[in-house]
Amino acid sequence: MKSLKIVIIGGGSSYTPELIEGIINNYDVLPVSEIWLVDILEGREKLMIIAGLAKRMIAQADCSIKIVETLDRREALKDANYVITQIRVGQLDMRRSDEYLSLKHGVIGQETTGAGGFMKALRTIPVMLDICEDIEELAPEAWLLNFTNPAGIITEAILKHSNVKVVGLCNNPINFYKKFAKDYQVPMKDVSIQFVGINHLNWITDFYIKGKSRLNDVLAGVSASYEAKNIPGLEWDPIFLQSLGAIPCGYHKYYYQTDQILAEQLKNYKKGYTRADQVQQVEKELFTIYEDPSTMEKPDALEQRGGAYYSEAAVNLLTSIHLDNKQIHTVNVRNNGAISCLPNDVCIEVNCIVENQQITPIQTGNVSPQIRGLLQVVKTYEELTVEAAVTRKIGTALQALTIHPLIPSAKKAHELLQDMLIANEAYFQPILYFGGDHV
């Protein structure tokens, strides 16, 4: 069997040890010979710590995998079979800036949703498209597994503006499989879930345990839906759930419970504390554990970063592609008519049949009006965000922000955009004028 070269761009991420663990656990079916960990100069210290831990994990597992850490992306990408992207342009400092700037303007601050996700996308899309140019040249047959957030928007930009074979991935769907398997005390293979939506805006329209629909268990309050550690734990109104006729994901709370979440965020903001501050503290503690020479495995504390089962989702998908076993995974791909109320060329997150040469979305059927309304609006925001990042037109950026449900007015969007351009000047420098339009 051909040996595999895997490249992880953003190799200094605190999530990397979980990915290494997943590759080790699947070493019998994934003949990986090399893992290249790539980062930028500002992330060099973290990259060295992660590489040291990865080498100890590989040695303890007695796997013949070579770990190479480098700042040279092009050298790493040459002849890669799989590329995994998990970058954060501006690192956690800019995530904090995004959250504080949003809350300064009285809107929800979140890294992938609303104004925060918008800023992150505009910083990230140009960098990701540069990476894709290198992949096209140096590893044209490689699959790109994108974890970089906002995953749906980033994946859509790649689908529209590169020729790379890309699939976007999130840990939200696998968390639901884990939750339902645990609730009903069955193995995951006995759980089947129907998803409709886009990344971080995905509804479960039905789920089955051993072939029997159990959706009403959740709608009636018998079984609680999954809540991620990084999403505020607010209860769903049972009347709302029953009339929705579907299970929302945790990120829906930013849309369906906006006032409650914003009030809580503003309270913490006034105290000088947001989710970004919490993540920075968790990350600091994680790297203290990682650099300890006695650490030989991924610590449990990593789950506090909100990425539980991240590696399992990634490695399961990678294995399915490699083995061409035509399994079903819930991933981010081009729509191609799977959700009939959305354009064909946008990125959606649905169940897909995974093959070595292609990943095909499964038709979802009719989408109910209560789902369709919010889905179409947020998807339109995503389309405009991709266009703004690529065309650099300030008017497109303004329209993207204005149409987002969490931005209350065009005036607020304009004020936010002005402050965003200043706060992100180092990253938006080539797009400050957005093609000649004026703020």
pLDDT tens-digit series, residues 382-407:
999 999 999 999 999 999 999 999 99
pLDDT at 299: 74
State the Cα angle at 260 between 249 and 111, rounded to 5°: 55
pLDDT at residue 228 is higher than 60: no
pLDDT at 227: 53
Residues 256 and 198: their CA atoms lie apart, in Å, by 16
Task: State percent of the chain over pLDDT 90.
Answer: 85
pLDDT at residue 292 is higher than 70: yes
CA-closest candidate to residue 228, choices 159, 170, 283, 274: 170
**pLDDT band for position 270 (cuts 50, 70, 90):** very high
Report which of residues 436 and 17 the model is more confident about. 17
**pLDDT band for position 436 (cuts 50, 70, 90):** very low
Residue 350, H or E segment: strand 347-354
**Cβ atoms 423, 101 nearer than 8 A:** yes
Is the peptide bond preceding residue 150 cis, with omega within 30 degrees of 0?
yes
**Cβ atoms 17, 302 nearer than 8 A:** yes
Q: Which residue has the tokens 């994946």?
A: 155
What does pLDDT average to over the chain?
92
What Cα–Cα distance (Å) separates residue 357 from each residue in 321, 326, 348?
Answer: 8, 11, 19
pLDDT at residue 373 is higher than 60: yes
Query: What are the catalytic residues?
Result: 251
pLDDT tens-digit series, residues 60-93:
999 999 999 999 999 999 999 999 999 999 999 9
pLDDT at 432: 46
pLDDT at 410: 98
Report the relative pairing of strands 4-9 and 32-38 from DSSP bridges: parallel
pLDDT tens-digit series, residues 318-344:
999 999 999 999 999 999 999 999 999
Predicted TM-score of the model (pTM): 0.94
pLDDT at residue 178 is higher than 70: yes
pLDDT at residue 212 is higher than 90: yes
pLDDT at 157: 98
Report which of residues 225 and 207 the model is more confident about. 207
**pLDDT band for position 439 (cuts 50, 70, 90):** very low
Backbone angles phi, psi at 325, to 5 degrees: -95, 5
CA-closest candidate to residue 242, choices 276, 277, 279, 216: 216
Q: Half-sphere exposure of residue 53, counting CA atoms within 13 Å on the CB side?
A: 28
pLDDT tens-digit series, residues 101-128:
999 999 999 999 999 999 999 999 999 9
Average pLDDT over residues 201-228: 84
pLDDT at 339: 98
**pLDDT band for position 222 (cuts 50, 70, 90):** low
pLDDT at residue 234 is higher than 90: no
**Cβ atoms 160, 386 nearer than 8 A:** yes
